Structure 1
Amino acid sequence: MRTLRYDLPASLVVFLVAVPLSLGIALAAGAPLAAGLIAAAAGGIVAGLLGGSPVQVSGPTASLTLVIAGLVQTHGWRATCLITIMAGGVQVLLGAFKAARAALAVSPAVVHGMLAGVGIIIALAQLHVVLGGSPQHSAWANLVQLPGQIMNMHGHKVMVGVLTVTVLLVWERLPKHIKAVPAPLAALLMAAGTAWLFNWNVTRIDLSGAITAWAPPELPHGDWQYIAGAVLLVALLAGAESLLCCVATEGMHAGPRSDLDKELSGQGVANMVSGALGGLPVAGVIVRSTTNIRAGARTQWSAVLHGVWVLLFALCLGWTIRLIPMEALAALLVFIGIRTISLGHVRKVHGHNEVPLYLVTMTGVILVGLAEGVLAGLALAALLALRRLTRVTVDKRQEPNGRLHATVSGSLTFLGVPGLTQELRTIPPGATVDLDLNIDFMDHAAFEAIHSWRLDHERLGGTVSIDELHDEWYALAASGARMFPAKSPPKAAGHWWLPWTHRRSSATAVECRLTRGADEFHRRTAPLLRSIFTELAVKQQPTHLFITCADSRIMPSLITSSGPGDLFTVRNIGNLVPCAGSEPGDDSVAAAIEYATRVLNVHTITVCGHSGCGAMGALLNGPATTAGLPQLERWLRHGDPSLAGLGGIRDQSSLDTLCRLNVQQQLRNLMTYDRVDEQVRAGRLKLVGLFFDIGSARVEVVPPMTAAVPAIPPEPCR
């Protein structure tokens, strides 16, 4: 119960948010208002106890209002409750068969488009209630009738609605201690208080006896095919929203990770209980879940307690609901409906070229229906995925040495064979071709197309050299080996780390190699790392400060198998670390140490030396080596303490010993920086020495300075 001091206050905050939202959703769905409170209690208690998420809060959700409203109009409320029970049973079965992950295959663009469409429909319908009228049977009818409704609007009812929306808008800009009261609750309280104070003519809500007046669910009448479709629709929509909400909140808390199958089964049981008690269908709700997390919830007991508070409120204080004007609830729904159209979601889907999915789903939901709009969005998503499979690009470039370089990119399936064949046939007969296959898959039809073109091209006097960048699909197929299920043989490492002189294009002019290298990066590496660099574009969070030599043979990311964003790197001649306040001074290394320890808060500082270091060789050979290089001579004075530690042996055979001693000395120099010394002693920072033997391509850990190592003067810094 140690977490109760966090979960108890969080549950009260969520309770204050849940009550007005639950009433509003019941109003929009055309269900009894008590059904919203029953669903909130069942979702909180049952899904909280049996679900797989520690912080998710379940209850009635706005995304199902259209489906529930249609079911209520067609079958009646008691039959809708039975459909809710059966939908819960379907969810329990799906969870038992570990089907939860399948729901995550739905494109977020379709989900956001569905929510936006539902929000617009709710806003248009409830706007009529705010204006003193009644909602029409469809979104289009609500839009057409809106001008007439505005002309005949009722003064007091409109004033209550305007007041509610105004409070909701202003509340977000108030000081933090005032915003501790949830905005929906504050808006309804102010609207109710103002209407009571001025005796406005508004529509009142009466829940007298509604909670205790229970009636059993009844069998729906009609074609069971349509009823089964309604059950599946409620089960899948509620389940998908719960699971997507669960995944969305994963990164917002530090508690245990969610069990999606257990969550889906828990939601199913909660729906069965809610339907049996006369409540709305329930699902994980993102608004309540994020409120729960921000309020400091640690475990599922926050959700459970929130359900308990809703239940106690409904049983003991339900009479207070009649003080809330119906128009205030409608205004709250208008506000919530408009807020579902998130520009942030639009920007995200635009970044992935999925705006058509969003718009088609939203438009279909508004104009046709919820199920039809979602199916239209899913169908378009499937078509776009199929189109991507047909997208094959062939880039051709004439090399200075007369060779033709061609790169095939994409997924090579039979769908892309026509375009691929057309591009390959434009290559002149007799040309010497270097063909790179930058592909993630190749089926038999694509192999036949490339192989037939190659044989024809070589028969006409040309040559073709094929290089597969990621796997060996072509080579395996050409050799007659099985491509599936056998795994492709290990492929030699990529080309990016090879020196220019070892590559196929080594004849390229020296001055062109950098630009050619950049082109190769754009073609091969950038597509694989673009998503990583997109994340890193916001800020860097390296865990290591890596200090090494400027020697061209040392590649920190290669010898440490690190990637972008891992190492904060400092390179200089001799991998030297001047002592704090030393002469000659050097602000470059000191600034990097200061920034790494005070801003980046790195965990490790590594000094990496290497065999055959030219800087250490210059120290061994004496001042004559740096004659005519005054700046280098001044810089190498920082290496004198390392040379002194070598003792009297000053021949070239002791060069690598000096290189290792130099690493140890620089680790010692790091301790002269107050921040480094403080963090090392506190255990928050670790100093590591590495030595790279170039000849054997081995990285060794250099042990800290011990008595076995030749002594270094106690005051090495000058």
Structure 2
Amino acid sequence: MKTLFPYVRARLGPPGGPGTLRADFTASLVVFLVALPLCVGVAVASGVPAEVGLITGIVGGLVTGFLPGSSLQVSGPAAGLTVLVYEAVKTYGLGGLGVLVLVAGLLQLAMGALRLGRWFRAISVSVVQGMLAGIGLVLIAGQLYALTDAKAPSSGPDKLLGLGGLAVDTLSDSTALTALGIGTATVLVLALWPKWRAGARVLPAPLAAVLLATVATGVFGLPVARIEVQGLLASVQPPGLDDFGGLASVGMLGTVLAFTLIASAESLFSAAAVDRLHEGPRTDYDKELMAQGAGNTVCGVLGALPMTAVIVRSSANVSAGARTKASRVLHGVWLLIFAAAFPAALELIPVSALAGVLVHAGWKLIPLKSLVPMWREHRAEAVVLGVTALAIVITDMFQGVLLGLLMSVVKTAWETSHVHVETEDPGAELPLQVIVLGNATFLRLPKLQDQLDALPADRRVELRLEGLRHVDHACGLALSTWEEQHNKAAGRAEAASGARSEERSGVAG
């Protein structure tokens, strides 16, 4: 047993005195209180039992939290994957969800081992922000139905189009109005609680909001829907062999890729943000990607939700004074104790209160503060963000992100492919020297063609391309074709001009 403790201390971080242990212990309690309502809320919104979200939170603490990578960021089920998980559960069932998460975790492990973690930092920030904004919009639209204990339509456009009918139905139903009142009050508490600093030091806003809603519902006996609980062990549903057969379908493979890319990007962007919040060791992105992969692999085996690093919990961990990864491991211990010992407490929580938590979380996913500065300074980036978000709302997560990545690549290619034409005239008897400079890609081909066509049509030319840093196949072919055709036309013009000169000379003689 004595040989185990040095290993554990080495994994949790550098040894510290009582002050370090006390700081990590206190921070772990704060993170636990923040994580508890979010784990349950994400699970309910994803269409799975509440305990499934707690299982992912427990794995995020006890598995991912124990591994190297980032020292202070905390992992668990994230609101950013809620929409995609809901669609996956509806299509493939809980067993299929386990397969998706398991394979995504194995892919993350492989990418980390291949040292691909740092490359996720190359993904355009506007694509990630657009992805989160699109998720936030769809999440809010769906949870507006849960605020009134109503069932949400399946697709993003249907959710938006059905809001008018939802408002009419709610106004004519006293029970729905009661649920809406609880959910709205929850959102208000979430927004206002942090302003009361004394209260915020005692309880995090999400827990305070859910507790107040639960107490009010119980005291006044309000007739609203509450969470259904089936027990922690009953919620562990490993995927069966039959569930793996779906991997032969294009749809399931596409969902696996979406889980992998989105969870990895969100985790590593979160790590970069958390590194700016503290002065401790910086994140090793490849190791962090492997830690996330290990956590998702375990979650897949247990049939739980996919995990990512979550900026809300991570920032709470740093703000609470955490010094080592012991705080995030302990938060997983507290989640396990609560889920095992007090599952009945979850049955008291009204569904509309959790919907309010997720409406607030969805709103925070939309980068409202950065939109106006981005539009002023980087308009193309703002367009990529907006198109990505809109595409996710109209189609789905995977297609929206792919469109955003494609637009980002095209935008970058457009901005870097500057090309212009210069000329040097060595004399009337020699060809005009046409010098092409810059990066010649198909995106700039129309502009390049216009510049070439403006040159004298009756003068032979010689193209000089040594000033080009890059030329793609389309531009190379267009340039060689233009030179050949231009010189033929110039030769015919010279011949016609010579014939006219001889004719005038004959007439004069």
- CA-CA distance at 1:71 after TM superposition: 1.4
Say whether 1:298 aligns with 2:323. yes
Deviation sequence 1:502-550 (CA, Å, 0-9, x none): xxxxxxxxxxxxxxxxxxxxxxxxxxxxxxxxxxxxxxxxxxxxxxxxx
> Residue 258 of structure 1: SS of its match in structure 2?
coil
In structure 1, the partner of 2:411 is 384
Say whether 1:341 aligns with 2:366. yes
Pairing partner for 1:224 from 236, 248, 253 = 248
Q: Measure, in 2, the Cα distance between the counterparts of 1:36 and 1:233.
A: 20
Say whether 1:170 aligns with 2:197. no
In structure 2, the partner of 1:358 is 385
In structure 2, the partner of 1:20 is 37
| Higher strand proportion (structure 1 or 2) | 1
- Which shifted more, 152-161 or 265-274? 152-161
| Counterpart residue identity of residue 67, structure 1 | L
In structure 1, the partner of 2:311 is 286
Deviation sequence 1:121-145 (CA, Å, 0-9, x none): 1111111111131111112222222
Q: Measure, in 2, the Cα distance between the counterparts of 1:281 and 1:20.
A: 17
Say whether 1:152 aligns with 2:169. yes
Q: Is residue 84–residue 272 contact of structure 1 (8 Å, CA) maintained in 2?
A: yes
Q: Measure, in 2, the Cα distance between the counterparts of 1:312 and 1:141.
A: 40
- CA-CA distance at 1:339 after TM superposition: 2.1
- Which shifted more, 334-343 or 208-217? 208-217
Say whether 1:143 aligns with 2:160. yes
> Residue 280 of structure 1: SS of its match in structure 2?
coil
Q: Measure, in 2, the Cα distance between the counterparts of 1:337 and 1:395.
A: 53
Cα distance, 1:442–1:156 mapped onto 2, change above 3 Å: closer
| Counterpart residue identity of residue 170, structure 1 | L
| Higher helix proportion (structure 1 or 2) | 2
Q: Measure, in 1, the Cα distance between the counterparts of 2:392 and 2:471.
A: 38
Q: Measure, in 1, the Cα distance between the counterparts of 2:246 and 2:448.
A: 54
> Residue 262 of structure 1: SS of its match in structure 2?
helix
Deviation sequence 1:445-484 (CA, Å, 0-9, x none): 89x99xxx9xxxxxxxxxxxxxxxxxxxxxxxxxxxxxxx
In structure 2, the partner of 1:209 is 231
Q: Is residue 203–residue 327 contact of structure 1 (8 Å, CA) maintained in 2?
A: yes
In structure 1, the partner of 2:73 is 56
Q: Measure, in 1, the Cα distance between the counterparts of 2:371 and 2:337.
A: 40
After TM superposition, the structure 1 = structure 2 runs for residues 532-571 of structure 1, keeping only pairs within 5 Å, are none
In structure 1, the partner of 2:463 is none
Cα distance, 1:425–1:15 mapped onto 2, change above 3 Å: same
Q: Is residue 253–residue 293 contact of structure 1 (8 Å, CA) maintained in 2?
A: yes
In structure 2, the partner of 1:31 is 48
> Residue 332 of structure 1: SS of its match in structure 2?
helix
Deviation sequence 1:72-130 (CA, Å, 0-9, x none): 11111122112211111111111111111222221111111111111111111111111
Q: Measure, in 2, the Cα distance between the counterparts of 1:236 and 1:4.
A: 35
| Counterpart residue identity of residue 204, structure 1 | R
Deviation sequence 1:190-225 (CA, Å, 0-9, x none): 101111111111112232424455333123254613
Q: Measure, in 1, the Cα distance between the counterparts of 2:103 and 2:441.
A: 42
Cα distance, 1:389–1:16 mapped onto 2, change above 3 Å: same
In structure 1, the partner of 2:6 is none
Cα distance, 1:327–1:440 mapped onto 2, change above 3 Å: farther
Pairing partner for 1:253 from 263, 273, 278 = 278
Cα distance, 1:181–1:392 mapped onto 2, change above 3 Å: farther
Pairing partner for 1:183 from 205, 208, 212 = 205
Q: Measure, in 2, the Cα distance between the counterparts of 1:386 and 1:119.
A: 29
Deviation sequence 1:644-702 (CA, Å, 0-9, x none): xxxxxxxxxxxxxxxxxxxxxxxxxxxxxxxxxxxxxxxxxxxxxxxxxxxxxxxxxxx
Q: Measure, in 2, the Cα distance between the counterparts of 1:212 and 1:94.
A: 33
After TM superposition, the structure 1 = structure 2 runs for residues 310-349 of structure 1, keeping only pairs within 5 Å, are 310-347=335-372, 349=374
Q: Measure, in 2, the Cα distance between the counterparts of 1:133 and 1:21.
A: 21
- CA-CA distance at 1:424 after TM superposition: 8.7
Q: Is residue 87–residue 268 contact of structure 1 (8 Å, CA) maintained in 2?
A: yes
- CA-CA distance at 1:16 after TM superposition: 0.7
Cα distance, 1:205–1:414 mapped onto 2, change above 3 Å: closer
Q: Measure, in 2, the Cα distance between the counterparts of 1:395 and 1:202.
A: 75
In structure 2, the partner of 1:307 is 332
In structure 2, the partner of 1:684 is none
* Structure 2 unaligned spans of 5+: 1-14, 171-175, 424-435, 457-466, 484-509
Say whether 1:196 aligns with 2:221. no
- Higher alpha-carbon Rg: 1
| Counterpart residue identity of residue 78, structure 1 | G
- CA-CA distance at 1:178 after TM superposition: 3.7
Pairing partner for 2:144 from 97, 113, 127 = 127
> Residue 323 of structure 2: SS of its match in structure 1?
coil
Q: Is residue 49–residue 235 contact of structure 2 (8 Å, CA) maintained in 1?
A: no
Cα distance, 1:170–1:376 mapped onto 2, change above 3 Å: same
Cα distance, 1:419–1:13 mapped onto 2, change above 3 Å: same
Q: Measure, in 2, the Cα distance between the counterparts of 1:27 and 1:112.
A: 25
Cα distance, 1:152–1:426 mapped onto 2, change above 3 Å: closer
Q: Is residue 51–residue 235 contact of structure 2 (8 Å, CA) maintained in 1?
A: no
The alignment's TM-score, normalised by the length of structure 2, stands at 0.78
In structure 1, the partner of 2:129 is 112
Q: Is residue 51–residue 266 contact of structure 1 (8 Å, CA) maintained in 2?
A: yes
Q: Measure, in 1, the Cα distance between the counterparts of 2:124 and 2:468.
A: 22
> Residue 261 of structure 2: SS of its match in structure 1?
helix
Q: Measure, in 1, the Cα distance between the counterparts of 2:368 and 2:84.
A: 25
Cα distance, 1:391–1:383 mapped onto 2, change above 3 Å: same
After TM superposition, the structure 1 = structure 2 runs for residues 586-597 of structure 1, keeping only pairs within 5 Å, are none
Q: In percent, how many aligned pairs have the same letter?
A: 39
Cα distance, 1:134–1:416 mapped onto 2, change above 3 Å: closer
The alignment's TM-score, normalised by the length of structure 1, stands at 0.56
Say whether 1:67 aligns with 2:84. yes
Q: Measure, in 1, the Cα distance between the counterparts of 2:281 and 2:21.
A: 17
- CA-CA distance at 1:257 after TM superposition: 1.3
Cα distance, 1:213–1:142 mapped onto 2, change above 3 Å: closer
Q: Measure, in 2, the Cα distance between the counterparts of 1:172 and 1:202.
A: 27
| Counterpart residue identity of residue 209, structure 2 | A
Q: Measure, in 2, the Cα distance between the counterparts of 1:215 and 1:442.
A: 54
Cα distance, 1:367–1:424 mapped onto 2, change above 3 Å: closer
**Using CA pairs below 8 Å that are at least 6 residues apart, which structure has the higher relative contact order?**
2
- CA-CA distance at 1:416 after TM superposition: 4.6
- CA-CA distance at 1:357 after TM superposition: 0.6
Deviation sequence 1:36-88 (CA, Å, 0-9, x none): 00001101221111140011111111121122111111111122112211111
Q: Measure, in 2, the Cα distance between the counterparts of 1:368 and 1:415.
A: 27
In structure 2, the partner of 1:436 is none
Q: Measure, in 1, the Cα distance between the counterparts of 2:442 and 2:397.
A: 35
Cα distance, 1:126–1:423 mapped onto 2, change above 3 Å: same
What number of residue pairs does the alignment pair up? 434
- CA-CA distance at 1:32 after TM superposition: 1.6
| Counterpart residue identity of residue 152, structure 1 | D
In structure 2, the partner of 1:81 is 98
Cα distance, 1:179–1:132 mapped onto 2, change above 3 Å: same
Cα distance, 1:222–1:257 mapped onto 2, change above 3 Å: closer
Say whether 1:97 aligns with 2:114. yes
Cα distance, 1:5–1:414 mapped onto 2, change above 3 Å: same
In structure 1, the partner of 2:173 is none
Q: Is residue 438–residue 470 contact of structure 2 (8 Å, CA) maintained in 1?
A: no
> Residue 172 of structure 1: SS of its match in structure 2?
helix
* Structure 1 unaligned spans of 5+: 397-407, 429-438, 454-718
> Residue 76 of structure 1: SS of its match in structure 2?
helix
Q: Measure, in 2, the Cα distance between the counterparts of 1:217 and 1:102.
A: 31
Cα distance, 1:84–1:414 mapped onto 2, change above 3 Å: closer
- CA-CA distance at 1:413 after TM superposition: 5.8
Q: Is residue 97–residue 303 contact of structure 2 (8 Å, CA) maintained in 1?
A: no
